[in-house]
Structure 1
Amino acid sequence: MRDYRHWQRIPTRWADNDVYGHVNNVVHYAFMDTVINTWLISEAGLDIHGGAAIGLCVESHCNYRAPISFPDAVDGGLRVGRLGRSSVRYEVGFFPVDRDDVVAEGHFVHVFVDRLTREPVEIPAGLRAAMEGLVVR
């Protein structure tokens, strides 16, 4: 858990449970997206409405270790596993509240592109500086 640099608590919702009585696998991807984008907007200063560069998800993956169910909440830990010129690999782990056993872990890769042309661009300096604070070596 100490390798994660940013934390966000995420409550589950009644609708997150599937017929088998646990949070459906696809919901974990929404949790990852929430942790990453909340951090980008609130901590890294990403302007989602007018910024020249935007991050597009080009790869995502999740490993499921243990089930969770509504009304459980999870703590989502965020770190950066790789920071390139125009791409970043965010790594996210989900842990039951007040416990250190992972229930799911995954990654998202964003490629930053020009908002209008969709051509890859360098990660803007302000975002890069914030991301460097999440890099795990």
Structure 2
Amino acid sequence: MSELPEQAISRDPAYPHWARVPTRWHDNDAYGHVNNTVHYLAVDTVVNAWLIAHAGLDLEHGAVIGLCVESSCRYVESLSYPDAFDVGLRIGRLGSSSVVWELALHRASDGAKVADATFVHVFVDRGTRRPVPLPEAMREPMTSLVRP
């Protein structure tokens, strides 16, 4: 996954963060397009990469981890290897222990929207798996992605 160059971020400005996710040869299904499960992989990758890079998520040792409790995807167009996803990321709701991520998936070659997705994280204590308030060090960077 790579960040898009600044000049390429001409997608919907309602999504403040964009990342490119390549497809792989085996992502195409029997119908010749990227299988719907790959869209979810792109969503999960972009959300967690943003958390690691910008909000200090520590996958191995952090006291707080995010668990996906809900996800959805509405498909609009198809995509085929070797094209890539350009994925826009924003937060639709920032709660005390939960985050509703909203994503726009576009075809990199022509910018056509491929899908809209949501991904809901509940942040929990690593040991007890019980919800906990988002640490301020994670919450503060998230505010830059909040859009109504």
TM-score by structure 1 length?
Answer: 0.97
**How many percent of aligned residue pairs carry the same amino acid?**
56
Gaps of 5+ in 2: 1-11
CA distance in 1, matches of 2:59, 2:29: 32
CA distance in 1, matches of 2:79, 2:25: 12
CA distance in 1, matches of 2:50, 2:44: 10
Q: Which amino acid aligns with 1:11?
A: P
Q: Does 1:93 align with 2:89?
A: no
Pairing 1:1-137 to 2, within 5 Å after superposition:
1-97=12-108, 99-137=110-148
Aligned to 2:8: none
Checking the alignment, whether the CA contact within 8 Å between 2:67 and 2:122 is kept in structure 1 is yes
Gaps of 5+ in 1: none
TM-score by structure 2 length?
Answer: 0.90
Runs of 4+ in 1 over 4 A off after TM superposition: none
CA distance in 1, matches of 2:60, 2:17: 24
Taking only aligned residues, the RMSD between alpha carbons, in angstroms, comes to 1.0
Q: Aligned residues, how many? A: 137
Matched residue SS, 2:145: coil
Q: Which has the higher contact order (CA 8 A, sep 6+)?
A: 1
